[in-house]
Structure 1
Amino acid sequence: MSDDDTKAAKERVYSEAEVTERLKKDLPNWRYENGWIRRKYKTHSWKSTLMVINTVGHLAEAAWHHPDIAASYAFVEVKLMNHAAKGITDKDFELARKIEDVVQWQPAKEGGALEGTPATDQRFAYVKYD
């Protein structure tokens, strides 16, 4: 058994009921379906879609935990499941939280010098925020 197999065997895999409850509490825009936790991000254009994909890719690579991604012109769907553990683990919840925080970040709502993308000009529309 390799070190990766041993480590994965020690990771807690959550039951479907536990996953559903945790998503409801901590990640309400994510859902559990067919063994994955999933989130669809709506965007305004292909450019925005690619930026979301690259953001998710960067976070996943830095975390060394890799999602499945499906994309179209105006959406990105992120699916997480710990393949080594064969289920949903803390790695999935933690990466989902980080993705959610970064993709849904709206600087204009924080005040300060960063104004965010202009809401009144569709040429600069980005993510369709929740």
Structure 2
Amino acid sequence: MATSERTYTDEEVEARLKKELPHWYLEGGWIRRKYKTNSWKGTLMVINTVGHLSEAAWHHPDITASYAWVEVRLMNHAAKGITDKDFSLAKKIEEVVHWQPGLEGGALEGCPKDDMRFAYIKYDKPKA
């Protein structure tokens, strides 16, 4: 039997986004994030990543895409609002899409930064 999930007020959502997911925003009842990519290849990689994570979590976003961007929108359809599921999935999407192994050190070096043939996502600039 399904249990009802707590939905957050707009003020609570905005406060959590500011603290936990600063590149996401609330609009029209959805939490949203637009990822900029370098090409269609990058757009498809982001879509597939979001699709895999969403299916594994059994919580599915709406996605809109174009040649060089992907917009992800999350809202718990069953609860008719923003719930902990939305925040949890948004955090996992953010973590995986923006993962840069070259910054961590270790055996995984990451994509070559000086050759645009391998570029696929435009990473957010670090906050000062």
Residue in structure 2 matching 1:55, options 49, 52, 55: 49
Following the alignment from structure 2 to structure 1, what is the Cα–Cα distance between the partners of residues 90 and 70?
14
Residue 108 of structure 1 is matched in structure 2 by 102
Q: What SS does the aligned partner of 2:31 have?
A: strand
State the Cα deviation string for residues 34-70 of structure 1 (Å, max 9, x = none): 0000000000010110010000000000000000000
What amino acid does structure 2 have at the position aligned with 1:85? A
What amino acid does structure 1 have at the position aligned with 2:47? I
Q: How many pairs were matched up?
A: 124
State the Cα deviation string for residues 97-126 of structure 1 (Å, max 9, x = none): 000000000000000111111110011111
State the Cα deviation string for residues 67-118 of structure 1 (Å, max 9, x = none): 0000000000000000000000000000000000000000000001111111
> Percent of aligned pairs with the same residue?
74
Residue 32 of structure 1 is matched in structure 2 by 26
Residue 78 of structure 1 is matched in structure 2 by 72
Whether 1:123 and 2:108 are equivalent positions in the alignment is no
Runs of 4+ displaced beyond 2 Å? none
Following the alignment from structure 1 to structure 2, what is the Cα–Cα distance between the partners of residues 75 and 107?
22
Unaligned runs of 5+ in 1: none
**TM-score, normalised on structure 1?**
0.94
Unaligned runs of 5+ in 2: none
**TM-score, normalised on structure 2?**
0.95
More helix per residue: 1
Residue 16 of structure 1 is matched in structure 2 by 10
Structure-to-structure mapping, 1:79-98, within 5 angstroms = 79-98=73-92
Following the alignment from structure 2 to structure 1, what is the Cα–Cα distance between the partners of residues 32 and 52?
18
